[in-house]
Structure 1
Amino acid sequence: MTRQRDQQQADQDTAGSAWTDTGLVFTTKTGAPLQPSNVNRDFHQLLRGARLRKIRFHDLRHSCASLLLDQGVDLIVIKELLVHAHIAITADVYAHVRLRPPARRHRTHVRCTRRRPGILAVRKRSRPP
């Protein structure tokens, strides 16, 4: 986040009077909100560069919540991270993860590696039974 703040400050200095102060953390070079189509395009380029299968940007949210539940993080913490209005929403959406038997739940794990500076590659591997 510090690096993003520094980059945004540099963008603001470069844009000068053309800068639009939206108060957003992630913006264009002139401070405007990011366009979803541009975010998706850039995200898919990152996936291709990392040789990962194509997923929707929104799928990252579900993956994060599922991994946190699988690791035993409390549902209330995940609810707060996802900014769900009610715990029932989180419980309903992620019931399939919570209901998996522990033996099956821990058969796979996620390994994160740095392939290039600033890019994390996430690979799912099966553990031996």
Structure 2
Amino acid sequence: MPAIIRTIIVLTFILLAAICQAETAADGPQSPISPAAPAKHKYPKIVLYSVSWCPHCKQAKEYFTKNNIPFINKDVELDDAAMNDLTRKYKSQGVPVIVIGDDKVILKGFDEQKFLKAIKGLQEK
């Protein structure tokens, strides 16, 4: 009897190890982002005023993320100072509001072409 139990225990450990290895292999190899890696594009500071449930805010976040555009997201429902900036400084009652280059360009709403035009205009200066 003890030999059978020992065999079952060993086989159980082998099976668990195989399952763990399969999950790790399924994740695929990942390389860490090197801070020394050169950026393809240099972007000015971009601040996105948003809320979590807004589809246009989500579209902007996904666009920035997909295109490796660094941005600061300020959720105005969670951040009172951000809400104050949105309503008083930028005179907006809606989101998203995108502030580019330390208040050089203020975009209300998200439109990819308007965003690209604003970035290009700042990069040419």
TM superposition score category, shorter chain reference: under 0.3
Question: What is the TM-score with the length of structure 1 in the denominator?
Answer: 0.27
> Highest CA radius of gyration, 1 or 2?
2
Higher relative contact order (CA 8 A, sep 6+): 2
Question: What is the TM-score with the length of structure 2 in the denominator?
Answer: 0.28
